[in-house]
Amino acid sequence: MKTITLDSLDDLPEAAQAVIDALDGRTVVAFRGEMGAGKTTLISAILECLGSGDAVTSPTFALINQYDTADGRPVYHFDFYRIDRIEEAYDFGYEEYFYSGNLCLVEWPEKIEELLPADTMNVRIRVNGPTQRTVEID
């Protein structure tokens, strides 16, 4: 496990690159943390590191957003906060995304825990103060 302490938003690129470096062939990343911890902000920094010029927003109502990296590969960003039943993930065909070989960044994975692949990478974000966060990558 790698632990990084972020004192400000200026430290985000380091954390984003650490997530990318830790992938080691995995393509599904579960972001865990309380509301407002900075999950979407970290995902935005990861996409920036991957060369995406897209504006990253939380797909809270759409459930999924697609972004493209500098080399044209799609990255899927999920937010399961608003789902009430796991069947909703089946309804939009989550498996086509999770097993596509493309990077899938998942917020609120607790809502669909049983659907996550066995090799899902976990990123935990802990709020330490108004601007300080601890990011654990495993």
How far, in Å, CA of 21 to CA of 30, rounded?
A: 15
Class (C level, CATH) for 2-137? alpha beta
Mean pLDDT, the chain, as a whole number? 94
> Which residue carries 């470096």 as its tokens?
21
Token couple for 66: 């697609």
- At 9, which amino acid appears? L
For residue range 9-37, list pLDDT tens digits in order: 999 999 999 999 999 999 999 999 999 99
How far, in Å, CA of 20 to CA of 26, rounded?
A: 10
pTM: 0.94
Hey, where are the domains in the chain? Answer: 2-137
Token couple for 30: 């579960």
Q: For residue 54, name the pLDDT band (cuts at 50, 70, 90).
A: confident
For residue range 59-90, list pLDDT tens digits in order: 777 789 999 999 999 999 999 999 999 999 99
Q: What is the pLDDT of residue 114?
A: 96
Q: What is the pLDDT of residue 136?
A: 98
